[in-house]
Structure 1
């Protein structure tokens, strides 16, 4: 892998695909999105990033080199997370292990995606309150970058917050 497009490589803990936040609002969504955009710019990654609540979009940014279809990919991945309450990466792995396709489960590929990059944002005792999505890289790297960004944010808010 080219060092200019590297993604931080740390093993994922069991809860990596379903990060728990201390709080979630428009400012936090903007901070997550800005962190993703800043890291991607420094690494030369051609991504699009989105952070949404269950009710509305809160942050959206596309960087140079991303594809036109990335906004559609984001929508489909977000739908997957909201429906299954897991990261799009985890849902894709679950479907692959079971030998399922979207169609075999009565779902449309126009509305859902099984590739990585979209992670649920949850609050303790509340559950999923939003979704952060990264697209523009391959499935695994989209997922890894989204998880890395949330980890960076959690590191920023401090070690006193219990993450699982």
Structure 2
């Protein structure tokens, strides 16, 4: 989505060409990859829980399902953004979209940490790990923005 926003800053005819291409790419990504993946992952998750229902008695699984719920909320928020692009507007800055892109990464890391580190000590390391990954991602985004501005990568 951020490329769509960055295309807004270009002069015509580059702006129209890029926005049309990004809209097409976004549509393909959303309906050919993202939605089918979400549906298949949900089907397989439900199937797995039917085969292993005792996992629902574990605290780590309940917490993981909470993170999966957050991932679904993230997915729906991205659907709202997609709908805005489809209507020709998106009301976010490029940098805020770059940060928003990393939210899914953090949620997915949390899910993996919960599955791998199920003990209490593991959870402590997991929380520290998630916070550490979050901080590193945010620092990386800020560093990338500084380098981009310094080197004028946005200029042709």
TM value normalised by structure 2: 0.24
Q: Which has the higher contact order (CA 8 A, sep 6+)?
A: 1
Which is greater in Rg?
2
The structure where helix makes up a greater share of residues is: 2
- Structure having the higher strand fraction is 1
Taking structure 1 as the reference length, the TM-score comes to 0.23
